[in-house]
Amino acid sequence: MKRIISGFVCLFLWVLPVQLSAEEIYNCVVPDALGGSDGLNRGILISAYSGFTLDKVYLFFEVTAPGSASYRLTVRDSTFGGDVLGTAETSYDFSIADLPVPVIFDFRRLAIEQGSRVTMVIEQLSGDISTFYSTAGAREGCPVLETNSVEPNVGISIRGAVHAIILGDTEEPTASVGLLENPPDTASGITAISGWVCDAARVEVEIDGSILVEAAYGTPRADTMDACGDTDNGFGILVNLGILGDGEHTIRLLADDIEIDSGTFTVTTLGEPFISGLSGTFDLTDFPEAGQQVTVEWLQSLQGFVITDYVE
């Protein structure tokens, strides 16, 4: 079942959290051994990541007093000074009675090169409480290790392992089937970028190689039953094309970071990204056929014309 993400986009999107299920890659939790802990200034190292994606990371947190706090977990290539591969933020309302608790960071199947070295940096973003995470000692068979500092040259801490559960894909994801149907070859105003994808955890649209927006995904499309075997495959983004500017633009459709369709389209504007104060109603004779007429009216909210009347 796909979860529908909703939002209004003018090249930005408000995204709701997506709950996904994936395989367990690492489980370094020994329930009766939870108790050792360390500060958030120490991080996590996996010297050879065995999955292809990173879905969820469960870290077991303790606090010194009840209260709420928010956190960010940043995944970096190789060392603490390496390129950022992805981030996830979360919050939790702690009570002393239930410590330690599994705090979940959702990376939504972030693509990771299998066998690569990754580090994870933990930050507390808010909350007037001191937070610690559980360590597992030098546990045999657990490759999720604690690092001794946030220096670029990561060393292994004497404590050894970290109590963590990590989910992801243990098989390389394959490209889904899908189609980018809109925008048309020439477009203007505020319009939908839409189409369908058979199966994906995340559908994104990339414009001009630099603008990447996640699409609302999972709306009914009965016409995709033959291709997909189900119908909840539609996606869409509402975009003000005027922000892109006049001329040709490139577009790519990505499903779980894999390109499944691409194309170009040409935008024509009235000289500004958004025009205010215009009005106008016009009759188009002999359209759509000879002897017929439609009336169109400028609509500011769409930055374009809509049909308001039709005479046969």
Amino acid at 191: T
The tally of CA atoms less than 13 A away on the side-chain side of residue 200 is: 31
| pLDDT tens-digit series, residues 104-131 | 999 877 889 999 999 999 999 999 999 9
In angstroms, the CA 146 to CA 169 distance is 23
Domain boundary among 168, 199, 220: 168
Q: Scanning the structure block, which residue is given the tokens 């308001």?
A: 308
Residues 252 and 129 in one domain: no
188, 303 in Cβ contact below 8 A? yes
Q: Scanning the structure block, which residue is given the tokens 């400028």?
A: 298
Residues 263 and 287 in one domain: no
Residues 41 and 118 in one domain: yes
| pLDDT tens-digit series, residues 20-47 | 356 899 988 876 555 578 888 888 999 9
In angstroms, the CA 178 to CA 180 distance is 7
In a domain, 15, yes or no: no
Residues 164 and 182 in one domain: no
In a domain, 173, yes or no: no
| pLDDT tens-digit series, residues 210-249 | 888 999 999 999 999 988 888 999 999 999 999 999 999 9
Residue 152 belongs to domain with CATH number: 2.60.120.820
Give the domain extent around 288: 281-311
In a domain, 8, yes or no: no
Residues 223 and 124 in one domain: no
Amino acid at 242: G
In angstroms, the CA 247 to CA 206 distance is 17
Tokens of 76: 């970096």
User: Is the pTM for the entire model greater than 0.85?
Assistant: no
In a domain, 4, yes or no: no
Residues 90 and 196 in one domain: no
Based on the structure, what is the number of domains in the chain? Answer: 3
More confident residue, 203 or 41: 203
The tally of CA atoms less than 13 A away on the side-chain side of residue 226 is: 1
Residues 127 and 186 in one domain: no
Domain boundary among 131, 149, 168: 168
Percent pLDDT > 70 in the chain is 86
Q: What is the pLDDT of residue 5?
A: 38
Backbone φ and ψ for 131, nearest 5 degrees, come out as: -115, 140
274, 242 in Cβ contact below 8 A? yes
| pLDDT tens-digit series, residues 261-271 | 999 999 999 98
